[in-house]
Structures are given as C-alpha cells and as structure tokens.
Amino acid sequence: MNNDELDKCSETVQNVLKEHERKEKEITELLIATKAILKSNDFRITARQVFDSCAKVIGAKSGYVALLSDDGQENELLFLEDGGMPCSVNPALPMPIRGLREEAYRSGKVVFDNNFMKSEWVKFMPKGHMSLRNVLFSPLNIDNKTVGIMGFACKDGDFTENDAKLAAAFGDYAAIALQNSKNLEELNASNITKDRFFSIVAHDLKSPFSSLLFLSEILEKESKKTKNEKIIEYSSLLYQTLTKTFDYLNNLLDWSRLQTNRIEYSPSWFKLSDLTKEITSVLLLQAQNKKISFRLNVPDKLEIFADKNMIKTVLINLVSNAIKYSYPKGEVCISSVQKTKGILVRVEDNGIGISSANIEKLFRIEQSFATPGTENESGTGLGLILCQEFIKKHNGQIGVESELKKGSTFWFNLPTIENN
C-alpha cells in the first residue's frame, strides 16, 4: 500500500469513527431524555431535559420550548435558552403563531432555515432580537394536533435532514411527556374529587346513622317487654342490620381517610386484654345469635404500644369475620403471645375455612373478594384490606392460615418499639 492509499484508508477509518461517535452521542441523549420522561411527571423538568439533549445532538446553541395558548393564537413560553447571546426582547411579550413557526404548526413537521436573516420570515422578528444564523422548529404533536413547539437556533454549521429527523424524535418525546403530565393532572383532579365526595357522603351519613343505631338498640331492649314475638324478632333484626351497616360505614370512612392521609398514627401504651374484652362485649349479641362462644387467651399484664383505634378496628373486623364464617355453636379464640421481636395476635375460628386459591385473593384491593357468611351474612371485602393498611402503619404484618371446613386463623404481629 503506498502513502496515498494509506492516507485514504486512515481518512475512511477516521470518518467511520466520527460517525460512530456521533451515533453514540445521539443514542446517549435519546436515552437520557427517555429516562427523564419515565422519572418525572412534571412537564417543565422533562421538557428542559428533552430540549437540552436535542440541542446537544443537533448542535444548536439557543432555543426555547413553548406551548400553544388555549385560544390557539400564540405560543406561551415555557423557558428560553439564549445560549449566552445578547437579546433585548422581553420574553414575556406575546408570541403570535406566524412565520416559519406557523409552518411547523400547520404541517406538524420539523422545519428549518439555514439562512434565516435573509429569509422571508425575518420580517416577523421583533426589534432587538439577537441575530439568528439558522433556526429549526420541532412541533409537539398530540393526537395529530400540534400543541407546542421546540425552537432551536444558532448552530455553527447548517441544520441537516438528519438533525430534522432527530429533532422530530425529541419533539415526539416532549409530546409524550406533555400528554403524561396532562393525564396525571386529570387523574389527580378526579381522584381528589372522588375522595372528597366519598368522605363527605360517609361523614354525613355517620351521625344520622348513629342516632338510628341508638334508637334501634333501645327498641330492641324495650321490645322484649312487649312479649310480642314478631316485634321482638323485627327489632332485633333491625338492630343487627344497622350495627353491621354502621360497621361497614365506619370501615369506608376509615378507608377514605387513609387514602387521603387524614388518619394519623398515634400510638400509646394500653392493655391488649382490656381491648379484647371491650370488643367481645360489643360483638356479644352477634356471637350469641349463632351460639358462638369466645375464648380469650390474652395475658392480663401484656401492654402494647400501638394506635388503639387502629388495633380496635382490626380486631373488630377479624373477630366479626370469625363469627360470620363460623358454624353455629362454634368457638372463636383470641390469643396473643409476646415474642422476642414483638407481639403476635391470633383470631382463630373453627368455621368454614378458606381454600388456598381464595387465600391468594385476600388483602388485595384490585380483587374485591367477598363471600357470604354461614347464615348468609353479606360481605364487602373491605375489612381485611383496611386491617392490612392499619397493621402496615405499625410496620407489622398480617396473614392467615386456613383449611376448608376446619377453620381459619388470622394473625398479625406488631414489632416492639425498638424495631418500629
């Protein structure tokens, strides 16, 4: 190989290496922009990253990102990068859609001009604007409509078709980011409305419901004096139905409060045995109706540090489930033991049990799994989910062991404060 041939060969190699380097830079910047889209739902942050990456690969020094105003008449500037060049135009001035930018909006495609100061568009440039050697506009298209634009300018050389292709890809990225942030905004707004509606309904139902419950309790007691079987039966039914519905309403209210972070975890020391006694007395009538007995095995001296209201809700749910899914004359046992790492509480029944396939469906909001009780009591599938949320607030765990037709043991543990 002579020297000329060697030079040519080395030149080709250099060109291939340069091309390789360029491609590598393009891929790196595309990846950086992709990450930005995945990481942030804030369009301002993502748009800046997408703009910077695009400017880097196409070699532009200045530019901006703007969105179309609601009336579709002008650009609303999101940010401007002057690339350190002097420009005395106030960025707050309106940016009507005209000139080369209008072309990009109309066609939905990238447009560029490498001799901008001599182009027909220059007449639209406001006074005091920095001189622009060249410009390139990349539209942000959502559902075939251009809703914003990325403008680039002042490349040292000329913008090329390859730059246009890349800018179109980055424009699509920015459009995806914009769509994502709009979707999220809508989702948040509808979520807030739903939460508000839900908590207002639950809250406003609670006080008339408490009065109804109170009255039905008096009625249930008084009815016994009448010795009228029908009145006694209906009053008892009314009282029980209202009690269950009230429990459900409380669960719903707690759930909505949890979702909107309106339930504060406020732990204190209390005796678990006192709480279990309180709960079994509240649920006594429910148990007596099915001739179910309670067995309590909670050491009197066992004190726990936990949020009493949350643990009360958990136990009410677990114990009333144990009654609901027990056969008549069954037994429900509540026990607890102190372990090295915390305490373990178990609510055990010898009722209908749960198949292993159905166990998989428990504690999952998306499954909404519920079956009727042994006396056809209705279920909502919300109780266990709520229990799980409350136990999680204590850094504890909740679970179940069960065998069909033999019974179930729901358990939860609460770590000692050192682990909390």
111/322 with CB nearer ligand ADP:
322
Q: Which stretch binds ligand ADP (CB under 6 A): 75-83, 159-167, 271-279, 318-326?
A: 318-326
Q: Is 380 in the site for ligand ADP (CB under 6 A)?
A: yes
How many angstroms separate the CA atoms of 97 and 101, rounded?
Answer: 6
Across the chain, how many H-helices and E-strands are there?
Answer: 10, 13
Nearer to ligand ADP, 163 or 389 (CB): 389
Q: Which stretch binds ligand ADP (CB under 6 A): 190-198, 201-209, 229-237, 377-385?
A: 377-385
User: Among all chains, which residue has been given the structure tokens 């009780």?
Assistant: 373
Which residue of 37, 55, 304, 354 would you call a contact of ligand ADP, by CB under 6 A? 354
Which of the 8 DSSP states describes residue 110? -
| Helix, strand or coil, per DSSP, at residue 249 | helix
- The CB-of-81 to ligand ADP minimum distance in angstroms stands at 55
Question: Which part of the chain contacts ligand ADP (CB under 6 A), choosing from 2-10, 26-34, 87-95, 381-389?
Answer: 381-389
Structure tokens at 239: 């009282």
CB closer to ligand ADP, 39 vs 295? 295
Q: First vs last Cα of the chain: how many Å apart?
A: 77
**Chain length of the chain:** 420
Q: Which of 351, 388, 394, 412 binds ligand ADP (CB under 6 A)?
A: 351
Give the helix/strand (H/E) hosting 360. Answer: none
Q: Does 384 bind ligand ADP (CB under 6 A)?
A: yes
Q: Does 369 bind ligand ADP (CB under 6 A)?
A: yes
252 is an interface residue for ligand ADP by CB under 6 A: no
In the complex, the smallest distance separating the C-beta of residue 369 from ligand ADP, rounded to whole angstroms, is 6
| Sheet (strand 145-153) strand order | 95-96, 74-81, 62-68, 145-153, 135-142, 111-113
Beta strands, E only, 126-225: 135-142, 145-153
CB nearer to ligand ADP: pick between 141 and 408:
408
Can you tell me the distance from the alpha carbon of 104 to that of 17, in angstroms, rounded to the nearest whole number? 34
**Alpha-carbon separation of residue 4 from 1, 8, 15, 18, 394 (angstroms):** 8, 6, 16, 21, 79
Residue from 64, 170, 255, 325 that binds ligand ADP (CB under 6 A)?
325
Stretch of 51-59, 64-72, 292-300, 365-373 contacting ligand ADP, by CB under 6 A: 365-373
Tokens of 318: 């677990």
Q: How many residues contact ligand ADP, by CB under 6 A? A: 19
Does 383 bind ligand ADP (CB under 6 A)? Our answer is yes
Q: Is 408 in the site for ligand ADP (CB under 6 A)?
A: yes
Mode of pairing for the β-strands spanning 135-142 and 111-113: antiparallel
Query: Looking at 35-43, 255-263, 275-283, 351-359, which segment touches ligand ADP (CB under 6 A)?
Result: 351-359
Rule CB under 6 A: is residue 412 a binding residue for ligand ADP? no
Residues with Cβ within 8 Å of 220's Cβ and at least 6 positions away in sequence, in order, are 235, 236, 238, 239
Contacting residues for 73 by C-beta, under 8 A, at least 6 apart: 96, 97
* Calpha distance 144→188 (Å, rounded): 25
Report, in Å, the least distance between residue 62 CB and ligand ADP. Answer: 60
| 255: contact with ligand ADP by CB under 6 A | no
What residues make contact with ligand ADP under the rule CB under 6 A?
317, 321-322, 325, 349, 351-352, 354, 362, 369-371, 379-384, 408
